[in-house]
């Protein structure tokens, strides 16, 4: 056990928010616009940004998209439950990045030790490759903790190729426990989000890394049980309220969902009542969300950021495309949005209104519905 782990470092200004349900950091998905839409569906969910490399913030590497530097640090979440994920392996650079982000008011900073991309592993050796150097991760966490509460996102293990994958859960767990205990021993991080798969650093795409390595949620549960002083969140294949309930048993603090939220965000409009015990959920209907609050936000952002040679229109429309997933009119809505976005001068609000007119009124006006049997408030 880690008697010192429960004690936060003196630099930690506040604890991280309760992470009973969170949405994973996903490149090209969890940008500020998608997070704004998700916040209309849940006041309680913890939302993670896309991964931003420390070099991008500190050195200005890469041209920001979406019109200005707000691409990386700007956001519009007044719930105080958004976490910035940083990538890097240089403690000084990570600390500088966290210092730059501090005035933005993020709830915390998450260090990426779980991305299996060979590009990430090969360039600067960060992401999942960092799991092989727990002492360096601890140094990185110490630097980050000078400016914000810190969590670490990792995998249950790491290997070079598929043929190197260990099929011995005891050996895997020993490596995971050693990594976590080494990082946590400094007292500056007691919050770990663990994807319940091994990361394969070479030969598998990020997509295949989410499918080929077998899911091992019991290793995450064991970690939570054997290190009760830590906050442990389980990630990987969370695709229903039932799976969220099942994976949150024992000492596991909560779950992190990913691709399924992007695919069908409206399904998760019951998160607050289902998983946090709220009396009601914030979204009354998809008409209310899409043509009300989100359309107003998108129109204002478009007006403030559009330039003669560039428009944020596509980026603003993308988060709305999955709102009608599985419902009548979903295909017509997406096709109309795409057609209107490709040509003409229609703004985002007009495009959303014209596309939504192709969706049946009963779909637009229906409240989010959750089977009472699936309510899992604790």
CA 161 distance to own-chain centroid: 26
**H/E element, 159:** strand 150-159
CA distance 203 to 197: 16
DSSP 194: E
DSSP letters along 301-349, please? HHHHH-BTTB-SHHHHHGGGGGTTTTSTTHHHHHHHHHHHHHSS---HH
H helical segments located in 102-161 = 118-122, 134-145
Query: What proportions of the chain, in percent to the nearest 5, are helix, strand and coil?
Result: 45, 15, 40
Tell me how many helices (H) and strands (E) the chain has: 18, 8
69-to-61, 75, 144, 189, 268 alpha-carbon distances in Å: 11, 11, 21, 29, 30
Residue 305: what are its φ and ψ, rounded to 5°? -120, -10
Closest-CA residue to 285 (of 334, 324, 337)? 324
Closest-CA residue to 258 (of 268, 248, 247)? 268
Within 13 Å and on the Cβ side, how many CA atoms surround 289? 29
What b/e readout covers 117-140, taking b as 16+ CB neighbours within 10 angstroms?
bbebbeebebbbbbbebbebbbbb
Which residue(s) pair with 46 in the sheet? 22
Task: Say whether 115 is catalytic.
Answer: yes
| CA terminus-to-terminus distance, the chain | 26
Set 115, 154, 159, 189: catalytic member: 115
Are 104 and 80 in contact, with CB atoms under 8 Å apart? Answer: no
**H/E element, 363:** helix 361-365
Q: Active-site residues: which are they?
A: 115
């Amino acid at each position: 056990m880690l008697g010192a782990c429960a004690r936060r470092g003196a630099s930690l200004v506040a604890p991280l928010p309760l992470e009973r349900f969170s949405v994973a950091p996903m490149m090209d998905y969890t940008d500020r616009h998608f997070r704004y839409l998700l916040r209309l569906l849940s006041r309680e969910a913890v939302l993670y940004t896309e991964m931003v490399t420390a070099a991008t913030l500190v050195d200005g590497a890469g041209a920001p998209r979406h019109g200005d530097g707000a691409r990386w640090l700007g956001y519009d979440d007044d719930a105080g439950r958004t976490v910035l994920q940083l990538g890097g392996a240089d403690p000084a650079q990570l600390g500088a990045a966290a210092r730059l982000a501090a005035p933005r008011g993020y709830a915390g900073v998450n260090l990426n030790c779980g991305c299996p991309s060979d590009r990430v592993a090969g360039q600067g050796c960060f992401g999942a490759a960092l799991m092989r150097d727990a002492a360096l991760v601890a140094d990185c966490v110490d630097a980050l903790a000078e400016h914000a509460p810190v969590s670490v996102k990792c995998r249950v293990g790491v290997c070079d190729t598929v043929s190197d994958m260990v099929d011995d859960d005891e050996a895997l767990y020993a490596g995971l426990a050693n990594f976590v205990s080494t990082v946590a021993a400094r007292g500056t991080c007691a919050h770990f989000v663990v994807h319940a798969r091994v990361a394969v650093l070479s030969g598998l795409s990020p997509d295949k890394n989410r499918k080929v390595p077998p899911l091992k949620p019991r290793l995450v549960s064991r970690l939570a049980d054997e290190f009760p002083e830590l906050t442990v969140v389980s990630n990987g294949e969370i695709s229903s309220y039932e799976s969220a309930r099942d994976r949150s048993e024992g000492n596991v603090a909560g779950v992190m969902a990913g691709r399924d939220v992007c695919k069908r965000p409206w399904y998760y409009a019951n998160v607050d009542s289902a998983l946090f015990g709220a009396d009601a959920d914030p979204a009354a209907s998809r008409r209310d969300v899409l043509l009300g609050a989100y359309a107003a936000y998108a129109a204002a952002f478009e007006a403030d950021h559009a330039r003669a040679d560039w428009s944020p229109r596509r980026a603003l429309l993308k988060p709305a495309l999955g709102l009608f997933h599985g419902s009548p009119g979903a295909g017509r809505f997406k096709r109309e949005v795409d057609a209107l976005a490709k040509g003409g001068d229609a703004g985002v609000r007009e495009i959303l209104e014209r596309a939504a007119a192709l969706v049946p009124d009963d779909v637009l006006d229906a409240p989010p519905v959750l089977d009472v049997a699936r309510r899992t408030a604790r």
